[in-house]
């Protein structure tokens, strides 16, 4: 990229969560391979973010490249209304096979936020069909994050969910205290008391409970006890409320289980998937449910589920996603994630000695360094780039979610560079 390209970008292109008044500088990336990004000046950065947690197999993967090339010679897109195609069928076969019964109905959409919108609409339409149209509110927990569209925003944390500007126009949902007992701490039933009270008082008007299983992502990178999720399932059953698990960030092995709900041996009524679904190649998401719930959704006066994105089941995205899932099926992701977890536990433990660090936590291929104070995004990002890595913190959190293919030396370089920067804070 030329200097004029970067200047045009600064003047005209709006990047995520940035100000047009004082835009943050962007680095120019011209190619990517494996776990490395190549900049326009020839430098290479080890990517600790997996491009917002999606490129689990690394960049420029030959099998994913070939899947895209093969599909584009057949067709790049076709409408999904009244039409089906082999890549969509192949992908949905894999999704049904790898998720728990009775999740056997798949609705494909464009992005994670839309997958959440679809799930919330399914839940509301389900209760309309059952003759209980008053059940329209969602139960959830604080510190959650579910996306940037309006219904998704309404179930994000009302204070820290990045959407407080819109509280006056969002549907008012019902929030319990966030779980406080960490993944590896002894369980105490008191952690569920706030949610129990919320269910007891509001179940008559609650369509569903939605939460991120085991790991709360952009709302704070918090890792909670598996027994909490198990208790949520029991409350949903007791009070006749649907359970939606948002696995857009945690799905496909990131926590050490193929899906995070497996840590608790439960199955949601509705499951949202995205991010790593295509190995980070292009946008695609899925919302899954059971035949029984899906049939009930369609028993309203409309007779159909009222949603249908133009690019639903895009053949290119489906073909790449199907190959990405095949790599998971045939590969060694469990050992890869286990190796990453063990190395992160060793290498991040030394951060606890730093005065600027409040807490360190690791689960699967997720490492989090929580600081006492929020970072200055521009200066800390520049410091990471100078050290040869790409890490994008937010608030008080410096975290990494590396690709599963990262090797020991690359991960050591990544964590050593983070230590150099954080220790200088």
Q: Does residue 67 belong to any structural domain of this protein?
A: no
Q: What is d(CA 89, CA 365) in angstroms, rounded to the nearest whole number?
A: 30
Residue where one domain finishes, among candidates 315, 330, 345:
330
Percent of the chain with pLDDT over 90: 95
pLDDT digits (tens, 9 = 90+) for 37-69: 999 999 999 999 999 999 999 999 999 999 999
Give phi and psi for 215, each to the nearest 5: -125, 120
pLDDT at 8 over 90: yes
Pick from 256, 254, 189, 241: nearest CA to 211: 241
Pick from 323, 275, 315: nearest CA to 115: 275
Give phi and psi for 100, each to the nearest 5: -75, 150
Q: Does residue 69 belong to any structural domain of this protein?
A: no
Residue where one domain finishes, among candidates 289, 309, 330:
330
Residue 53 and residue 14 share a domain = yes
Residue 104 and residue 39 share a domain = no
Q: Does residue 278 belong to any structural domain of this protein?
A: yes
DSSP 110: S
pLDDT digits (tens, 9 = 90+) for 129-139: 999 999 999 99
pLDDT digits (tens, 9 = 90+) for 305-353: 999 999 999 999 999 999 999 999 998 999 999 999 999 999 999 999 9
The band of 140, judged by pLDDT with boundaries at 50, 70 and 90, is very high
Residue where one domain finishes, among candidates 330, 346, 371:
330
| Structure tokens, 371 | 């600081």
Pick from 132, 202, 196, 133: nearest CA to 173: 202
pLDDT at 384 over 90: yes
Dump the DSSP string for 39-70.
ETTS-EEEESSHHHHT-TT-BS-HHHHHHHHH
Q: Does a cis peptide bond (omega within 30 degrees of 0) precede residue 102?
A: yes
Residue 259 and residue 205 share a domain = yes
Q: Does residue 353 belong to any structural domain of this protein?
A: yes
What pLDDT score was predicted for residue 165? 85
Domain of residue 32 covers 3-60+332-422
Q: Answer whether 228's CB lies under 8 Å from 260's CB.
A: no
Angle at 119 between CA 113 and CA 125, to 5 degrees: 135
**Sign, Cα dihedral of 87, 93, 96, 98:** negative
Distance from the Cα of residue 133 to its chain's centroid: 30
Q: Does residue 66 belong to any structural domain of this protein?
A: no
Residue 281 and residue 180 share a domain = yes
Whole-angstrom CA distances from 181 to 141, 177, 249, 416 are 14, 12, 21, 29
The band of 5, judged by pLDDT with boundaries at 50, 70 and 90, is very high
Total number of domains in the chain: 2
Residue 293 and residue 209 share a domain = yes
With H, G, I as helix, E, B as strand and everything else as coil, classify residue 77: coil
- Catalogue the active-site residues: 17, 145, 246, 275
Residue 385 and residue 362 share a domain = yes
Residue 299 and residue 380 share a domain = no
Q: Does residue 68 belong to any structural domain of this protein?
A: no
pLDDT at 163 over 90: no
Q: Does residue 65 belong to any structural domain of this protein?
A: no
| Structure tokens, 70 | 């093969």
Pick from 400, 397, 395: nearest CA to 416: 400
Residue 391 and residue 283 share a domain = no
With H, G, I as helix, E, B as strand and everything else as coil, classify residue 88: helix
Residue 86 and residue 32 share a domain = no
| Structure tokens, 419 | 């230590």
Beta bridge partners of 45: 37
Q: What is d(CA 243, CA 32) in angstroms, rounded to the nearest whole number?
A: 38
Query: Which CATH number characterizes residue 281's domain?
Result: 3.40.640.10
Exposed e or buried b for every residue in 77-98, given b needs 16+ CB within 10 A?
Answer: eeebeeeebebbebbbebbeee
Q: Answer whether 313's CB lies under 8 Å from 54's CB.
A: no
Q: Answer whether 47's CB lies under 8 Å from 37's CB.
A: yes
pTM, two decimal places: 0.97
Residue 288 and residue 203 share a domain = yes
Q: Does residue 8 belong to any structural domain of this protein?
A: yes
Query: Which CATH number characterizes residue 385's domain?
Result: 3.90.1150.10
Report the phi/psi class of residue 282: left, alpha or beta, with left for phi > 0 and alpha for psi in -120 to 50: beta
Residue 53 and residue 81 share a domain = no
| Average predicted confidence (pLDDT) for the chain | 96
Residue 277 and residue 415 share a domain = no
């Amino acid at each position: 990229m030329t200097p004029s390209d970067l200047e045009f970008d600064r003047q005209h292109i709006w990047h995520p969560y940035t100000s047009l008044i004082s835009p943050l500088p962007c680095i120019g990336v011209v190619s990517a391979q494996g776990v490395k990004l190549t900049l326009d000046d020839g430098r290479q950065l080890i990517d600790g973010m997996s491009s917002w947690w999606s490129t689990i197999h690394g960049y420029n993967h030959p099998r994913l490249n070939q899947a895209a090339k093969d599909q584009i010679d057949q067709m790049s897109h076709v409408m999904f209304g009244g039409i089906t195609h082999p890549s969509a069928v192949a992908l949905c076969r894999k999704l049904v096979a790898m998720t728990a019964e009775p999740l056997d109905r798949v609705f494909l959409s464009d992005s994670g936020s839309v997958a959440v919108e679809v799930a919330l609409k399914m839940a509301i339409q389900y209760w309309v069909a059952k003759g209980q149209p008053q059940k329209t509110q969602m139960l959830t927990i604080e510190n959650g994050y579910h996306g940037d569209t309006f219904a998704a925003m309404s179930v994000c944390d009302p204070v820290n969910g990045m959407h407080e500007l819109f509280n006056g126009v969002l549907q008012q949902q019902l929030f319990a205290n966030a779980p406080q007992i960490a993944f590896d701490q002894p369980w105490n039933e008191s952690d569920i008391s706030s949610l129990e009270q919320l269910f007891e008082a509001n179940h008559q008007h609650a369509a569903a409970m939605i939460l991120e299983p085991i790991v709360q992502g952009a709302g704070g990178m918090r890792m909670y006890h598996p027994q909490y999720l198990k208790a949520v399932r029991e409350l949903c059953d007791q009070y006749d409320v649907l359970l939606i698990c948002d696995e857009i960030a945690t799905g496909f092995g990131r926590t050490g289980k193929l899906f995070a709900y497996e840590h608790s041996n439960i199955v949601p009524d509705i499951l949202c998937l995205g991010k790593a679904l295509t190995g980070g190649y292009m946008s695609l998401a899925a919302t899954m449910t059971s035949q029984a719930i899906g049939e009930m959704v369609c028993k309203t006066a409309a007779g159909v589920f009222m949603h249908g994105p133009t690019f639903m089941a895009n053949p290119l995205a489906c073909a790449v996603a199907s190959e990405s899932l095949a790599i998971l099926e045939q590969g060694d992701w469990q050992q890869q994630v286990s190796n990453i977890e063990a190395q992160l536990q060793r290498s991040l433990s030394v951060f606890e000695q730093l005065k600027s660090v409040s807490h360190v936590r690791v689960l699967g291929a997720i490492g989090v360094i929580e600081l006492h104070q929020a970072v200055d995004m521009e200066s800390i990002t520049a410091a990471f780039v100078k050290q040869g890595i790409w890490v994008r913190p937010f608030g008080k959190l410096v975290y990494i979610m590396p690709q599963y293919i990262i090797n020991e030396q690359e991960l050591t370089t990544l964590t050593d560079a983070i230590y150099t920067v954080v220790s200088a804070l």
